[in-house]
Amino acid sequence: MIDIKKFLFPSLSWIQFEISGLCNAKCFYCPHTVYKEKWRGRNFTFNEFIKIVPYLKKVKLLYLQGWGEPFCNPEFFDILKSAKENNCSVGTTTNGMLLDNSHLEKIVKLKLDIIAFSLAGIEKNNKLREGTKIEKIFELINELNHLKEKNKTIYPRINIAYMLLKSNLDELEKLPWVFKDKGIDDIVISLLDFVPHPKLLDESIVPKTAEEFEFLKNTFLKIKEIGNKNNISIYLNLSDPHKKGLCSEKPINSLFINSLGYVSPCVFKGIPSEKAENLYFGNLNEKNLLKIWTEKDYKNFRKIHSKGSIPFYCENCNKWRISFL
């Protein structure tokens, strides 16, 4: 029997899928830590994941990551295997602390396309990301590159997902030197765009004036140039206070599914906590994904975005002003 859902469903750039809303770390700037008393995140089950499998052939990238640690989910590899069997590229971001050599062997065997390791500093990382150790990240990267060479494969691509805060700004210039010759494909630097509590406002160095923007831009471009000379691609998602453009989260042709099964336009509107101001268009445990995608409210939301306008849900979000450097 032909599954009509996969024919009617649009082609998407990606689905970001919070495979786990649980985490073994306590990063002080993360909603998982700040909202811990009202946190509802859980592990998404394989049986629930099956509900989106019919749509995967229309999705370029399935990214297994949200506000938790993906490898807290014991069914991670079952989900990865299923996605790859449906010809879907798959990526994930991890703190790496739950991984050992047996996990890395499965990652290579099942042909995970992208793995990014989260960091927030060099010497300061272990303090800013409580429960993590940068030393282990280096060990994992070394072993993963060894396995890739042994298996004669370029996958997974190994990235660094680097959170730039006021607390670690002084370590930014160390990035290209620390990761030189480490077998890293890309370093993607992000700022604290989502501030879960006012006490963290000082940690967010999102530019608020043209002068702040130019300072960060010029500082970064120097780092990027050093990276290029050392064969490391470094990118920065920097918001320009005077720019208005299309949302960098691409809500017109992508979506986020959190660990509770709720579908949101992006990860910032799908935080599994009662304290967050979320925007849900449906739950996979109540409706299929095609039905949710074609709901009137969701269609109207995307229509506003397609015109380059800002829905009131998104008025205070910096993702409208991202300049990719």
Contact 159, 183 (CB under 8 A): no
pLDDT digits (tens, 9 = 90+) for 133-153: 999 999 999 999 999 999 999
End-to-end CA distance of the chain: 47
Contact 74, 45 (CB under 8 A): no
Q: What angle do CA 82, 87, 89 make, to 5 degrees?
A: 90
**Whole-number Å distance between alpha carbons of 181 and 229:** 12
Cβ contacts of 245 within 8 Å, gap of 6 or more: 308, 320, 321, 322
**Whole-number Å distance between alpha carbons of 217 and 213:** 6
**Whole-number Å distance between alpha carbons of 48 and 45:** 5
Q: Quick one: pLDDT at residue 6?
A: 56
Single-letter amino acid code for the residue at 86: N
On whether the pTM is more than 0.85, the answer is yes
Phi, psi of 52 (to 5 degrees): -100, -5
**Whole-number Å distance between alpha carbons of 155 and 176:** 22
**Whole-number Å distance between alpha carbons of 234 and 187:** 5
**Whole-number Å distance between alpha carbons of 15 and 291:** 16
How many CB atoms neighbour CB 52 within 10 A? 22
Residue 186 bridge partners (DSSP): 159, 233
| Structure token digits, residue 70 | 């993906």
CA-atom Rg of the chain in angstroms: 19
Single-letter amino acid code for the residue at 313: Y
Single-letter amino acid code for the residue at 108: V
Q: Quick one: pLDDT at residue 7?
A: 64
Per-residue pLDDT tens digits of the chain, which is 325 residues long: 345 555 689 999 999 999 999 999 999 999 999 999 999 999 999 999 999 999 999 999 999 999 999 999 999 999 999 999 999 999 999 999 999 999 999 999 999 999 999 999 999 999 999 999 999 999 999 999 999 999 999 999 999 999 999 999 999 999 999 999 999 999 999 999 999 999 999 999 999 999 999 999 999 999 999 999 988 999 998 988 888 778 899 999 999 999 999 999 999 999 999 999 999 999 999 999 999 999 999 999 999 999 988 888 898 888 888 887 7
| Structure token digits, residue 112 | 């995970």
Q: Quick one: pLDDT at residue 1?
A: 39
Q: Quick one: pLDDT at residue 172?
A: 94
